[in-house]
Amino acid sequence: MRPSILYPLFSSIDSIKGIGAKYQKLIKNLCGDKIIDILFHLPYNVVDRTYTSPLSNAINNKIWTGVVTITEHVPPQTKKHPYRVYCTDGTSELELIFFKVYKDSIEKNYPQGEKRAISGKLEYFNGRWQMSHPDFVVPENRLNDIMRLEPVYPLTAGITNKMMIKLAKDAILRTPNFIEWLSKDSFGDLEYISFNEAIKKVHNPKALNDLLPNSIARRRLAYDEILSNQLALALIRQKLKKQTGRVFKATNILYQKILTNLPFTLTKGQEEALEEITKDQEAPYKMLRLLQGDVGSGKTVVALLSMLKVIECGAQTALMAPTEILAKQHYETICNLCKDIDVNIALLTGKLRPKQKKEIYDKLKDGKIDILIGTHALFTEQVVFKDLGYVVIDEQHRFGVNQRLALSSKGKTCDVLVMTATPIPRSLLLTAYGDMDYSKISGLPIGRKPSKTVVMNVNKMPEVIEALKRKLEEGTRAYWVCPLVEESQKSDLAAATERFEMLKTHFGDKVALIHGKMKEQEKDAVMEEFKQGKKTLLVATTVIEVGVNVPEATIMIIEHAERFGLAQLHQLRGRIKRGYEEGVCMLMYSYPISNVSKERLNIMKQTEDGFFIAEKDLELRGGGEILGTRQSGFAEFKLADMQYHQDLLLRARDDVKHILQTDPNLETKQGEALKTLLYLFEQNEAVKTYLAG
């Protein structure tokens, strides 16, 4: 389906002359294995090779480019000595120095008596100009090829900057002249520049300013990428809105029963979210909504109450969680809330025995299960519902965007609610979840107290341990989170194990250890002991970041907090806001500490507002890292940077509205060009799901 105009850009990099299997692998690891990946691998700096003063007036330690005549070769007398080539520009002598080189190669590149254009760093030593290993040597008539601002690319071992310049040149030659997909009024304050001009400009910068995110060329490229993202999401959303959904108009009998039994009243935020979900459920189109609520804001209750409306209408519901611990926790919470009403709930996880699984599959097929809770196990073929009407996916970013609709396809025109406790900045919401409607629960349930955050140096650990002893003796439970390890020779697990052994000398068998390498059964067993109070101090890697619910745990110690991102620190601190006692979070840092890390720790001290923290995290780190891994499901931008291009995001969103109002099927000349844009930025799914009908 990809337009033929794009074939040259999507061909393999081994179609470039001189790129064999060895280099192909290295380049693939650096930026990707297609020509387009090289085109979008932008330089980040420049080397100025335009300085060409006569050598007699040259400046020391500057990169010099000029034409010289080769006068003499002096091969080394021993292996320890360098090979020397003497030359002159007519005003002064220059000594070229080479270590570990082949004589034949030097004689070929620097033939005695002939002229060559060279470029490299000049150094004045013992009354003479020297240049070690010139960066370039070319025939005299090619001086202008090297006397330029040379772009500097991000590299990997085995790939030189010279090679990247050659590859980029090749990629630009293969770039077709695109028909403009933007109308001039799309630019607002931007000077008009085409995609082709912009991509040439960033690979051939005339000044360092051409590479900065706010340069005209970079803004144009960023805008095109953001526009493709917003158009793709809008097309998918438009398609979903056209899909006939089911109308769930409930009597609210079960709903009211649960409300009466709740040990608390719903917050204003929960009520507003429920109203928005109810409107979707009663509307005749498919629902796809994101429910965002800070840690402990009560999303599970909202999810359950909305599920009951569907169950009353005779359909089944499913709740999918990213881990078995979290799935089990949801199961326990929901069973507890539903203990006085007639609702059948089942838990399906990978560790169930075949016989138990078969029993659940049979009941599910017969419609005897109203709420099925589980992990990825819900995706398997054996899971067949009698009538699935509603799916709730918890911590969506742990699954990846393409799985979003895989579960809903198990039911006819199934409604989908996606929940996350990770506060997401507005710009990332638009780029990652722009195909969804959006609800936000603000505020914590009544009676929940804010936690206190303390920042201290790691050398105060003995005092922390003493204070912790007193608190644990009073019946408190605590988390001790071990650092993300930066040095490759030691793993996070090794750091956690080491700390666990040390704390055991102080707290004996009351300490437990949990980490990502443990089997699910082991993790469950440790968490169970911690929940029951058999263990009172839980040493952990960041495996406890999401969803773990132990109301009695009110102390959180995070070691080397300077190594964590803001969003992650906030998620971890959320573990001690589950009960009604005031929690204490200790952020321990060690020197050296960067200014960015200092600012992070100060922000944590000042506020508990997850949404404010998320915006600050975006400022400090950029969008790609807000949720940690590449599997986060967030758009991975190559050319746009949300630290600098948020204004373009809002502009693109408005442009897309206008495009789809005037040309919903992209059939005009500009519409056809926009389809090319979608394929250029590999938004193929959007084209398939929407434009293929």
Q: CATH number of the domain that 421 lies in?
A: 3.40.50.300
Do 436 and 579 belong to one domain? no
Instruction: Locate all alpha helices (DSSP H) within 474-512, ordered by sequence.
Output: 492-507
> 351 pLDDT band (50/70/90 cuts)?
confident
Q: How many CB atoms lie within 10 A of CB 51?
A: 15
DSSP one-letter string for 199-231? HHHHHS-SSGGGGSTTSHHHHHHHHHHHHHHHH
Q: Tell me the pLDDT tens digit for each residue of 469-506.
A: 998 888 888 999 987 554 444 455 677 888 899 999 99
Instruction: At 255, give phi and psi (nearest 5°).
Output: -55, -50
Q: Tell me the pLDDT tens digit for each residue of 109-121.
A: 999 999 999 999 9
Cα dihedral across residues 237, 238, 243, 247: positive or negative: positive
Min mean pLDDT across 7-21, 125-139, 200-214, 387-401 is at 387-401
Do 332 and 382 belong to one domain? yes
* Within-domain flag for 584: yes
Do 66 and 124 belong to one domain? yes
Question: Is pLDDT of 373 > 80?
Answer: yes
> 547 pLDDT band (50/70/90 cuts)?
low
Do 190 and 77 belong to one domain? no
CA 78 to chain centre: 54
For residue 306, which of 330, 273, 343 has the smallest C-alpha distance? Answer: 273
Q: Tell me the pLDDT tens digit for each residue of 237-261.
A: 777 777 788 899 988 888 888 888 7
Model pLDDT, residue 326: 84
* Within-domain flag for 117: yes
Alpha-carbon gap, residue 384 to 364, rounded angstroms: 7
Q: How many CB atoms lie within 10 A of CB 282?
A: 13
Length of the chain: 693
Do 276 and 394 belong to one domain? yes
Contact 189, 647 (CB under 8 A): no
Question: Which has more pLDDT, 516 or 204?
Answer: 204
Alpha-carbon gap, residue 213 to 221, rounded angstroms: 10
Q: Tell me the pLDDT tens digit for each residue of 73-122.
A: 999 988 889 999 999 999 999 999 999 888 899 999 999 999 999 999 99
Min mean pLDDT across 177-181, 265-269, 556-560, 643-647 is at 643-647
Min mean pLDDT across 269-283, 413-427, 522-536 is at 413-427
H or E segment to which residue 420 belongs: strand 415-420
Residue where a domain terminates, one of 607, 636, 660: 607
612: β partners: none
584: β partners: 452, 555
Most confident of 109-123, 255-269, 335-349, 531-545: 109-123
CA 651 to chain centre: 23
For residue 10, which of 18, 1, 19, 21 has the smallest C-alpha distance? Answer: 1
Count CA atoms within 13 Å of residue 547 on its CB side.
22
Do 202 and 329 belong to one domain? no
For residue 53, which of 141, 147, 140, 150 has the smallest C-alpha distance? Answer: 147
Find the mean pLDDT for residues 319-337.
87
H or E segment to which residue 21 belongs: helix 21-30
Find the mean pLDDT for residues 282-306.
87
Residue where a domain terminates, one of 587, 607, 627: 607
Model pLDDT, residue 623: 47
> 224 pLDDT band (50/70/90 cuts)?
very high
∠ CA(313), CA(316), CA(321), 5° rounding? 135
Alpha-carbon gap, residue 236 to 315, rounded angstroms: 26
Neighbouring residues of 472: CB distance < 8 A, sequence distance ≥ 6: 478, 507, 510, 536, 537
Tell the burial category of 248 from Cβ atoms under 10 Å away from its Cβ (0-12, 13-18, 19+). buried
CATH value at residue 135 = 2.40.50.140
Question: Is pLDDT of 394 > 90?
Answer: no
115: β partners: 69
- What is the widest separation between alpha-carbon atoms in the chain? 99
* Within-domain flag for 424: yes
Give me the torsion for CA of 650, 429, 285, 666, rounded to 10°.
Answer: 40
Do 485 and 550 belong to one domain? yes
Find the mean pLDDT for residues 408-426.
74
Instruction: At 267, give phi and psi (nearest 5°).
Output: -80, 165
Do 83 and 138 belong to one domain? yes
Model pLDDT, residue 260: 84
Min mean pLDDT across 26-35, 452-461, 610-619, 622-631 is at 622-631
Do 398 and 304 belong to one domain? yes
Model pLDDT, residue 397: 54
* Within-domain flag for 474: yes
End-to-end CA distance of the chain: 14
592: cis peptide before it, omega within 30°?
A: yes
Helix (H, G, I), strand (E, B) or coil at 190: coil
Alpha-carbon gap, residue 436 to 344, rounded angstroms: 30
Question: Which pTM was predicted?
Answer: 0.69
Do 434 and 513 belong to one domain? no
> 329 pLDDT band (50/70/90 cuts)?
confident
Model pLDDT, residue 422: 73
For residue 656, which of 237, 286, 213 has the smallest C-alpha distance? Answer: 237
Parent domain of 436? 212-446+648-693
* Within-domain flag for 621: no
Alpha-carbon gap, residue 139 to 70, rounded angstroms: 12
Min mean pLDDT across 12-21, 215-224, 571-580 is at 571-580
> 634 pLDDT band (50/70/90 cuts)?
very low
* Within-domain flag for 218: yes
* Within-domain flag for 629: no
Do 384 and 325 belong to one domain? yes
Contact 129, 84 (CB under 8 A): no
Question: Is pLDDT of 447 > 70?
Answer: no
Alpha-carbon gap, residue 378 to 318, rounded angstroms: 8
Residue where a domain terminates, one of 607, 640, 660: 607
Find the mean pLDDT for residues 439-457.
80
How many domains does the chain contain in total? 4
* Within-domain flag for 657: yes
Do 19 and 76 belong to one domain? no
Question: Which has more pLDDT, 391 or 395?
Answer: 391
Model pLDDT, residue 475: 85
Contact 302, 281 (CB under 8 A): no
Instruction: At 164, give phi and psi (nearest 5°).
Output: -65, -40
Q: Which amino acid is at 429?
A: L
